[in-house]
Chains A and B, each alone.
Chain A
Amino acid sequence: MISLLIFIPVLGAVAAWLLRDNGQRPLILPVIATLHLIITLMLLVTTPPAALNGWILLDPLGKLVLLGVSILFLCLAVYSIGYLAYRKERSNRVLCMGLLLCLGAMSLVCVAQHLGLLWVAIETTTLTMAPLVYFNRNARSIEATWKYMMICSVGIALALLGLYFLAYATVVARLEPTLLLQPLVASAKALSPAWLNGAFIFLLVGFGTKIGLAPLHTWKPDAYGEAPGLVGALLAGGLVNCGFLGSCRIYQICSAAGSAGFCNAALMALGIISMIFAAVFVLKQADFKRLLAYSSVEHVGFMVIGLGFGKGAIYGTLFHLFNNGLTKGVLFLTAANIHRSYNSKRAENVRGVIDRLPWSGWLFMASLFAITGSPPFAPFLSEFMILENIFTGGSISLGFVIITLFAVIFIGMASTILPILTGRAGADNQDSGYRDGLLTVGPPVAMLILMTILGFWIPEPLRQILADATRLLTAAGGAP
């Protein structure tokens, strides 16, 4: 059953490769995405036991990421039909194949319990996205693709070294060498602490590059800015979650080993640096797609702080991981609609979006408030949970620093985005003739509705997954 999660998207990719008609090919995406979501939901109801000698298992952390990725991908798949109808002149074969292969690889990330397999799957997601960042085939996008490819490849290579260190920690401790998660967590206390910490640092740098923690984030604004909106949404809402899952896996071992103090300090330091970088660059950013990239740097930084703070903050962090992915989806898709209509993503060239594209305009406004943590949306709830724990946990100064950075970033984003939404488009604003349609607005609306519902009420099954996943990441539940 779990294997279907990987094979169905791969079969879809083969079908996309074989199908010659550019107009029909995108229709494969929603079909595969729907099947994927159905299988995901069935797996959440009845979870099969570990398979392939314990290599494959859908644990609560995997469930959480898989659910988020699957919902996001279905929305992107529906959107892509509307989007690609505007890009008929260009072959979408590579785009469709890349998206589907990436879905397969992301599913593998969620179910992999062997860290070597996890690494291979994360590296595959990186590779499948490279041609997609280059979809627009111009000088700017080739530059973005090159940076993305080089920086992420080097980062992921360092993560592999981290995995070798982890395996070596078992050799030094005279244990059976393995990279399977369960035995590693079970024997975590016996592992050589020096090699375990070395492994953690290299894996944090490697996966940190992948999720775009500052100062390893330099590829992110370029890739998010130049890639088509739906690719940006998948990078910010799908690949980030997969990379974060990778970081959670090593955190599981470290927290079971009792070396959480060292790891937490490293996580919180990188998290704070990321939020500061984001705050500085958001303030002077006039390109609204790059602005979203810095917002992503901010949120991965915030989540890493939550993970590093540990204890009660972990529940909120995992909930925020889910919320951030879907809210980023709304932001990137609506930003892409605005970009399409005005032929520009510079704030000075865009005016009166609400007047011209009422749906996209209001959606962008709502998702701006959602991502910056305003009620009634779900990110508010998850940010509140984390901050509440930080304050009650005694780190009042840390809490104030985070709130200040949130405020700066809100001002930075709002001062760029609100002027482009209001007013009227003048003669100097280009008009490509694009107007909102059901296919390009429906998916972000669906995601925003979900974010609003979750802001009021977390359904019992999701609450259960979050609680189980939290237990995996806290020392008490980590060691059996």
Chain B
Amino acid sequence: MNSFVDQLLVLVFLMNFIVLGTSRINIAIKVVAMQGMALGLVPALLHQFTLHLGLISAGMIAVKGFIIPWLLGRAIQSVGIKREDQPFLGYVPIMLIGAVATAFAFSFAEQLPLAPQHKGLLFVPAAIATLMTGCLMLVSRKKAISQVTGYLIMENGIFIFGLLLTEAMPVMVEAGALLDLLVGIFVMGIIINQISKEFSSIDTSRLTTLKE
């Protein structure tokens, strides 16, 4: 079973690069959704099936795999944006930085004082690499919707670290965190819509009225 989990995590690494390298926003949204679903499967695969883990998996897959992409898809449809035209940083440099960050994640994870049962697993490097991918998306993209996908990737990275602790986190807290994420994305979708109405664009680089 564990080798399947490892394959899923390798898939998560690859998805990070797909998102960093694509200019098509709907592909980025779909890939982030698949990443969320892949991670949602892990708790159910990792341990013996319990109601607790089943609920977390089902909730993750429903929210990250279906509801959030649907919300974001609706948002890009209403603002009529298909591509991230001019990111702050080009696609090739950002992928190179992503590669360096991934390598760094592996070497950094080795030095962390992990519990013996977690040494050498892919979870921690995957968490760090995904978190950094999210940060890269947040700082390198101009379109509000791409920044939201960056935030989602970051959240996925944090969730991977949480997989080491599924037994410590009560289901109510997991559910609350997921619900907050969902409401947050819903609110962000509405704001994106309003930004496009006010500024006839969702380039956040135009949001400069309030600069000091």
Contact = CB atoms under 8 A, between A and B. Distances in A.
B184 A149 contact: yes
A177 B169 CA distance: 8
7 contacts: A120-B176, A127-B187, A131-B187, A147-B207, A164-B162, A179-B168, A179-B173
Contacts of B154: 154, 157
Nearest to B186: A127
Secondary structure call for the B interface: helix
A142 B198 CA distance: 8
Nearest to A222: B210
A311 B161 CA distance: 35
Nearest to B162: A164
A160 interface: yes
Point out which of A138, A150, A192, A281 has the most chain B C-beta atoms below 10 A from its C-beta: A150
Interface of A: 114, 116-117, 119-120, 123-124, 127, 130-131, 134, 137-140, 142-147, 149-150, 153-154, 157-158, 160-161, 164, 167-168, 170-172, 174, 177-179, 192, 194-195, 221-222, 225-226, 281
Interface in B135-178: 138, 144, 147, 151, 154-155, 158, 161-162, 164-165, 167-170, 172-173, 176-177
B194 A134 contact: yes
Contacts of A226: 210
A221 B112 CA distance: 38
B157 to A, nearest CB: 8
B184 A153 contact: yes
Given A171-B165, A172-B113, A179-B168, A160 B191 contact: no
Nearest to A127: B183
B195 interface: yes
A116 B191 contact: no
Contacts of B131: 161
A167 B169 contact: yes
B55 to A, nearest CB: 15
Given A114-B173, A117-B172, A146-B191, A160 B158 contact: yes
Contacts of B188: 149-150, 153
A142 B212 contact: no
A153 B188 CA distance: 10
Contacts of A158: 158
B50 interface: no
A124 B180 contact: yes
A164 B162 CA distance: 6
B207 to A, nearest CB: 4
Contacts of A145: 191
B209 interface: yes
Contacts of B165: 164, 167-168, 171, 177
A221 B151 contact: no
B204 A120 contact: no
Contacts of A137: 194
B115 interface: yes
A146 B168 contact: no
A158 B135 CA distance: 11
A117 B176 contact: yes
B199 A139 contact: yes
B212 A221 contact: yes
Nearest to B206: A143
Nearest to B144: A146
A171 B168 contact: yes
Contact of B209 (A123, A143, A160): A143
Nearest to A133: B191
B14 interface: no
B212 A281 contact: yes
B100 interface: no
Contact of B155 (A117, A142, A157, A178): A157
A117 B179 CA distance: 13
Among all A-B residue pairs, the 10 with the closest Cβ atoms: A177-B168, A116-B173, A120-B176, A143-B207, A123-B180, A139-B198, A167-B168, A222-B210, A161-B158, A172-B115
